[in-house]
Amino acid sequence: MSGLSFIILGRVAMSEQEIYIRDQLVLQPGIGSVRFVRQGRALLERATAGVVYTSAKGQKKRLALAGHAVSYGLAQDSVSLSVANDEVQLTWQLLLGEELRLNLEVKNIGAQTVRVEEFYVLDVDAQKGGSLRFTSSPQNWRCYQNGWQSWTPTFARHIADGLWVDPNTDDYRVKHQPHAPLPSRKTISSEWFTVIVPAGEEKATASSAARGQVGAAADPSILLGFITTADQLAELRLALSDSTRFQRLVAITYADGVPLAPGEKLLSETLLLALGDDPLGLLDLYATHVGETMHARTAAEIPTGWCTWYYFFGEDTADDVLNNLTWIEKRQLPLDVILIDDGYEMAIGDWLDVHSAKYPQGMKHMAEQIAAAGHKPGIWTAPFAASSASKLYAEHPDWVLRNKQGEPLVAWQHWGVDVYGLDLSLPDVQDWLRDLFRVLSDDWGFRFFKVDFLYAAALPGVRHDRRMTRAQAVRRGLEIIRAAIGDHFLLGCGAPLGPSIGMVDAMRIGPDVHVDWEPFWQDLSAPSAANAILNSIARSFMHGKLWVNDPDCLVLRPRGDDSNLVLNEMRTLTTIVGLSGGSVLSSDNLPSLRRGRPRYLQRILPPYGRSMIPLDLFHNERPRLLVLPVETLWGSWVIVALLNWDDHSRVTQLDLAQLGLPQGAYHVYNYWRQRYLGVVQDHIVIDPHQPHETVLLLLKPVSDQPQLLSSTFHILQGAVEVKEVYLAPHRLVVELEKQGNQFGRLVFAVPGERTVSKVLVNGRPQRPRQIAAGIWQAGFFLQDRATVELTLS
């Protein structure tokens, strides 16, 4: 990287002094601000920084660079601006590179302790001359809104109008809004990061998204994201005075009143600022940087398994678990984890006090039986909380977080009973947590841990250790759990995302799935299939960079059997879980499933590992176009999922140009309908596209040679189960490998005058069937592995 270059434009008055730094910054030390530029054009005007602190006398004060003549320093790859009053000194450091990194340091230079409340690591305020200088009107902007914890609504929000609704309830505020109320409905808050897209009219293509380029716009998109997340909660706020006027853009981290003694310093989290024409690429860039900085656990295996929750809802027994385990074994399903969810314990907090009527021989015996069957025993806890009806709270009422009036803080109600957050800064609570997970892991023998409702540790209460922030409380709890269980698998849920990076192996990325498509009330965080799907799509880029994505469980039972999901809705849920590349957990009572339903589970096993790309993420608040390019040693193709979120049928047209595919002819196969749609060159029309239906298509280039077109044994159609394909004179041979016994089809394209005269599966003849001109298929049962040989004449 080249050294720093700068120019001082003459000897001018201090207020007019401007110092140009490369082609990225213009320092304005006379007024304590910076102009961010790109290709000679200003994008962020009069950006500055500041800190909010409480003095020794209890006065809330703010010190900002703006409006002051500040001192500054220039090093080879960094710039700093400083200002001070009688109590604190503020230093804003900007690190130069391909992207900019910003942080803020406050030092107590006074004689008495102060408490640091908030860092404004970036502040662009229209009232102080600041501006976000897009050429398009704010009403056309799109803003990625990331939620605070697993269940918090997340999508690329339209500025002018759209899906967003604030339920405005106490329960919602506790679970999803950890900061001060937003000043107006025209303010958008995003936790830890955001991408602002100026127009939102351009669409990505599959090939350009894979390359990190998506179209070009008159204005670049802007990424603002904190890439260190362990010590302070953080948010980005974009405020408009109305839908057409910019008001303010701030990046804030919360120090939560940490005391700072004379001479001590405190550093904010580090903010990444990047510009680009590809908003999807910027999301990937952010995930890559924060994952590297926070040492994300990305090498973990992708879990598959069965979970008790979404059928039994806490009323499961040992017999229920064993019956499902036996069913899994009999059918040789590759489900590794057997997860016993909520309901085995007598109360939240009393995890070692097992419900004897449900599990009469205890959980250790249950784990031993699961392990003896060759599976990984898993257990659910909500370890950062205690029920008001628990023995834990009765014996240790001083362990829970309380407000300034001394009242315990309610994290949620569990079946109508108040549950309080634990004070993770207390040494006794830390010891209890450590001992608990050592018992669960070392004594009871569990190897998979789902830890839920983790936001309870981050409630804004009075902590024993006043130096511990809310983010550090969550992080400290996870560090204790990780040390106790070692490298056993840890799945976070209901978890503030930032402090969890580097601690958990997998993360729930959306609300609970449910047996209803929409929730009972208007709330994007409420349990429902549609809400779970939306978050899973919007956070798909996190998979493999921050953790393994957990899209929540698969629910397959038909409508009327304790479910309201119709066939199209169940298929859509299956598609999204399968295309997520993340965990696959079934949560039906498997022995009671109707015949034919288990095949949907088989068709997304094993997980592919790579996640879908929502090409229209910044165009539609509910994305309708998902792609997953597949590359193998024997071929390449594109999987396309077209979603209809509407409650009515529609006509959907897909232009191949949207996918960025090379010009040419492509075979198209409709997976769920198992129908060959022909050869296309320009567009595909789906009519009718039924309500809540996902049309899952394979597009593969037409060849003058015989080729395997599709395998229906997996929704990726050959990406995981087809190990090799080779063409010999008058023969096409396919090698498959997939655990279990399942029926499916291979579809072949045989061009020209050739026909399929014979099909052998493991040496046994199968009858081929021609389904279109030059298109043949053969159906058979695959038991673990097979060699399929076509004889061509």
pLDDT at 7 over 60: no
Residues 6+ apart with CB under 8 A from 653: 683, 684, 685, 686
For residue 215, what pLDDT is reported?
Answer: 43
Output 13 or 261, whichever has higher pLDDT: 261
> How far apart are the C-alpha atoms of 358 and 377, rounded to whole Å?
17
Which of helix, strand or coil describes residue 579?
Answer: helix
Using alpha carbons, select from 50, 190, 20 the residue that is nearest to residue 130. Answer: 50
Output the six-digit token pair for 611: 């996640």
Local confidence band at 242 (pLDDT 50, 70, 90 cut-offs)? confident
> How far apart are the C-alpha atoms of 549 and 540, rounded to whole Å?
7
Output 76 or 373, whichever has higher pLDDT: 373
For residue 206, what pLDDT is reported?
Answer: 56
> How far apart are the C-alpha atoms of 233 and 118, rounded to whole Å?
10
Residues 6+ apart with CB under 8 A from 769: 776, 777, 778
Mean pLDDT of 101-123: 98
Using alpha carbons, select from 25, 192, 35 the residue that is nearest to residue 99. Answer: 25
pLDDT digit string (tens) for 656-692? 999 999 999 999 999 999 999 999 999 999 999 999 9
For residue 186, what pLDDT is reported?
Answer: 84
For residue 182, what pLDDT is reported?
Answer: 85
For residue 38, what pLDDT is reported?
Answer: 87
Which of helix, strand or coil describes residue 251?
Answer: strand
> How far apart are the C-alpha atoms of 381 and 398, rounded to whole Å?
21
> How far apart are the C-alpha atoms of 69 and 54, rounded to whole Å?
24
pLDDT at 413 over 70: yes
Q: How far is CA 682 from CA 1, 575, 608, 687, 788, in A?
A: 44, 25, 29, 17, 33
Q: How far is CA 550 from CA 278, 284, 533, in A?
A: 26, 18, 11
DSSP element (H, E) containing 746: strand 731-749
pLDDT digit string (tens) for 638-651? 999 999 999 999 99
Mean pLDDT of 221-250: 94
pLDDT digit string (tens) for 171-205? 999 999 999 988 877 899 999 999 999 974 444 55
Output the six-digit token pair for 303: 């879990």
Q: How far is CA 104 from CA 90, 117, 501, 533, in A?
A: 7, 13, 22, 37
Mean pLDDT of 598-604: 97
Which of helix, strand or coil describes residue 233?
Answer: strand
For residue 13, what pLDDT is reported?
Answer: 39
What does the mean pLDDT of the chain come to? 94
Q: Is the CB of residue 370 less than 8 Å from the CB of residue 389? A: no
pLDDT digit string (tens) for 759-787? 999 999 999 999 999 999 999 999 999 99
pLDDT digit string (tens) for 285-326? 999 999 999 999 997 789 999 999 999 999 999 999 999 999
**Catalytic residue selected from 123, 452, 505, 552:** 452
> How far apart are the C-alpha atoms of 588 and 702, rounded to whole Å?
40
Which of helix, strand or coil describes residue 745?
Answer: strand
> How far apart are the C-alpha atoms of 322 and 328, rounded to whole Å?
10
**Catalytic residue selected from 512, 523, 552, 616:** 512
Question: What is the share, in percent, of the chain residues with pLDDT greater than 70?
Answer: 96
Mean pLDDT of 406-430: 98
pLDDT at 161 over 50: yes
> How far apart are the C-alpha atoms of 490 and 574, rounded to whole Å?
24
For residue 243, what pLDDT is reported?
Answer: 66
Q: Which residue has the tokens 């269980």?
A: 485
Which amino acid is present at 89? Q
Q: Which residue has the tokens 């205890």?
A: 362
For residue 688, is the peptide bond before it cis, meaning its omega torsion is within 30 degrees of 0? yes
Using alpha carbons, select from 192, 212, 186, 215 the residue that is nearest to residue 202. Answer: 215
Which amino acid is present at 598? P
DSSP 8-state class, residue 754? -
pLDDT digit string (tens) for 735-755? 999 999 999 999 999 998 899
Using alpha carbons, select from 49, 20, 17 the residue that is nearest to residue 37. Answer: 20
Residue 372 burial by CB count (10 A; 0-12/13-18/19+): exposed, middle or buried?
exposed
| Rg over CA atoms, the chain | 28
> How far apart are the C-alpha atoms of 639 and 601, rounded to whole Å?
18
> How far apart are the C-alpha atoms of 329 and 326, rounded to whole Å?
5
pLDDT digit string (tens) for 708-740? 999 999 999 999 999 999 998 899 999 999 999
Residues in a beta bridge with 507: 492, 549
- CA 467-286-524 angle, to 5 degrees, is 80
Please, what is the end-to-end C-alpha distance for the chain in angstroms?
62
For residue 244, what pLDDT is reported?
Answer: 76
Mean pLDDT of 206-221: 57
Question: What is the share, in percent, of the chain residues with pLDDT greater than 90?
Answer: 88
Residue 314 burial by CB count (10 A; 0-12/13-18/19+): exposed, middle or buried?
middle
Using alpha carbons, select from 609, 516, 617, 507 the residue that is nearest to residue 565. Answer: 516
For residue 606, is the peptide bond before it cis, meaning its omega torsion is within 30 degrees of 0? yes
Q: Is 512 an annotated catalytic residue? A: yes
Mean pLDDT of 506-531: 96
CB atoms within 10 A of CB 322: 15
Q: How far is CA 766 from CA 187, 570, 769, in A?
A: 63, 32, 10
Which of helix, strand or coil describes residue 468?
Answer: coil
